[in-house]
Each structure stands twice: as C-alpha cells, then as structure tokens.
C-alpha cells in the first residue's frame, strides 16, 4: 500500500496533534499510511509520563501536555518533525523494533552526511558524540501509531537548556549545523524520507 507524504510547513503544535488523533481514530484497514513533515513555533511538549519538574527554568514558551510516550522535549523553527501515521498491525514486529528502525533511518541519513550517529537501547533517540540530535515519541492506539520523531537541523538550541531533555538532567543536544553540515529543514526531509521509506518498507516485508 502506498504511503502518502505531506509537507505541512510551519504549523502550530496543538492543532497538528489534534489532527493526528482524528486521523488515527477514523482510519480503517484500507487507510494508507501518512508521513507528515512539519516545523513548529517554539513549544515544549510533555509526554504521558512527563514530569513538570523537568522544566527547570520558567520561560514564555508554551507547554503542552500530550499523549505520546516520553518526557519533555522542545520543538522550534529549524527542527524537522516527522509524524508517522502508520498501521502498526500490518508490520508484524514489536514496539522496540519499530523504534530501532526509525532510529536507524536517522542514523543512515546522518551517515550519508558524514556524521557518525548511534542509538542507545536505554534512551530512545539518536546521538552524536554523546549529544542528542534526534528524539522519538510515539503513541499506539488501536494498532495504529502516531506522533513521531524530531531532528535538530539548524535551530536555536537555547530552550533545551531550560529543560532536562527527555527527562535527563544535563543531557546536551546538538544539531546538523553544529556537525559542520549546512541544510535547510526541507533538504533534511528530502534526505530522511527515503531512509524512513526503506526501513518502514522492510518492516512490512517481515510481516
């Protein structure tokens, strides 16, 4: 079944989250999977288990409590967010394998840029030299996945200093620009989408 890619540009977080919920609630076995590529205005999001104490410095940035997994993270312009609206039932794999394959797509994409990245089995996401460059947060409902990944491309990283990213005190973050590669968010999406397609398709073939 074909997978639709939607380039939604700079959009507010809450309406996008609500649209993901509506899409997931209304999808059927015949609904094609969709990947939504977006950027968000500055916003902190707290996952289902998110603890407010991980917001360590007051700011004017909006805080949204949402229904994904994980703790607190930051979204802002210059960060690529890809929402993965996919039918988990069709894959025939476990959640850990799904996370690993999404991480591997990011690792492979960064590898093409000459950036050596890796995952951590104990802390989902993708890292470069001990610093986090991409985060994952998923929700599975009725066998379907929504929410997704964020990849730091060329953004102001300062708001990450005001939180414990993903619940880890002192965790440093980085971005593609700091690794010596100049890309726009659109160019990053253009490179990442084929890798996601490849790894998600592999999942379907294993079902």
Q: Which residues are annotated as a binding site?
A: 68-75, 135-137, 148-150
The bridge status of strand 144-152 relative to strand 79-87 is antiparallel
- Tell me phi and psi for residue 121, to 5 degrees: -60, -25
Binding site as annotated, residues for substrate: 68-75, 135-137, 148-150
Distances, alpha carbon 128 to alpha carbons 89, 107, 133, 143, 204, in Å: 32, 10, 7, 32, 29
User: Does residue 78 come out as left (phi exceeding 0), alpha (psi in the -120 to 50 range) or beta?
Assistant: left
Active-site residue (options: 37, 99, 166, 176): 166
Number of neighbours of residue 11 by Cβ within 10 angstroms: 15
Exposure string over 120-144, b if 16+ CB within 10 A, otherwise e:
eeeebbbbbeebbbbbbbbbbeeeb
Residue 166 known to be catalytic: yes
Residues tagged active-site: 166
């Amino acid at each position: 079944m074909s997978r639709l890619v939607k380039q939604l540009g700079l959009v507010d977080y809450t309406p996008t989250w609500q649209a993901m919920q509506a899409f997931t609630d209304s999808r059927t076995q015949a609904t094609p999977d969709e990947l939504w590529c977006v950027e968000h205005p500055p916003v902190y999001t707290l996952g289902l288990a998110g603890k407010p104490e991980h917001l360590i410095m007051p700011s004017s940035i909006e805080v949204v409590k949402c229904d994904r997994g994980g703790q607190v993270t930051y979204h802002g312009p210059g960060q690529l967010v890809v929402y993965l609206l996919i039918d988990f039932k069709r894959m025939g794999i476990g959640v850990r394998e799904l996370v690993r394959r999404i991480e591997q797509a990011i690792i492979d994409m960064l590898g093409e840029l000459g950036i050596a990245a890796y995952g951590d089995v104990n802390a989902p996401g993708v890292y470069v030299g001990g610093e986090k460059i991409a985060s994952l947060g998923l929700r599975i409902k009725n066998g379907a996945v929504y929410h997704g990944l964020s990849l730091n491309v060329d953004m102001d990283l300062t708001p990450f200093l005001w939180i414990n990213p993903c619940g880890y005190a002192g965790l440093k973050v980085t971005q593609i620009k700091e690794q010596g590669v100049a890309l726009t968010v659109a160019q990053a999406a253009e490179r990442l989408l084929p890798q996601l397609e490849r790894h998600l398709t592999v999942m379907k073939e294993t079902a």
